[in-house]
Amino acid sequence: MPDKVLRRSLIALLVLLGGCAGRMGDPAFSSIKATPVRAELARLYFYRAFEPYESLAWPLIYLNGAPLAPSQPGVASFRDIEPGSYAISVFSPGLYPNQFKKVLLHPGETIYVRIESLRNWYRGFNWERDTFVVSLVGATEAQADMAALRYVE
């Protein structure tokens, strides 16, 4: 009897650890070689740190109200887009001051966007709501942040 319990516990532990590993086919962001942004386009990098004590939800990122991609914990990605003025937002049940950003992208320019999770910001006595915030980050800090993240197109 104890042998069956031990075997089942071991199988359950392996399944649980396998679920924490993430998608195995996604390369590390530091290993990809992104082509330079074309002169007539602008590049928008967006990423979110893997913080298991924060929200693990995948809220959508929006550009000017149109869905762009989900914000996945532990993932970095980029999109080449037309230059212009953009409102960058993310679906967030919780509210936060200056939560979303507006940017003016010029041809050949690169902008780095970090999606931050503030799980304990919007809460009551026995409830809490995920709160997501868009932050614009400098290139050096963003590249250091993204190095260990997974890359998803």
pLDDT tens digits along 94-106: 777 788 999 999 9
Among the residue ranges 29-43, 61-75, 113-127, the one predicted with the least confidence is 113-127
Q: Across the chain, what does the average pLDDT equal?
A: 81
The structure's pTM equals 0.75
Was domain 26-151 assigned CATH 2.60.40? Answer: yes
Max avg pLDDT among 34-38, 64-68, 144-148? 64-68
Average pLDDT over residues 83-93: 92
Task: Give me the pLDDT at residue 87, please.
Answer: 95
Answer yes or no: is pLDDT of 9 > 70.
no
Closest of 60, 64, 110 to residue 90, by C-alpha: 60
User: For the sheet containing 132-137, what is the strand order?
Assistant: 132-137, 110-117, 42-48, 75-81, 150-151
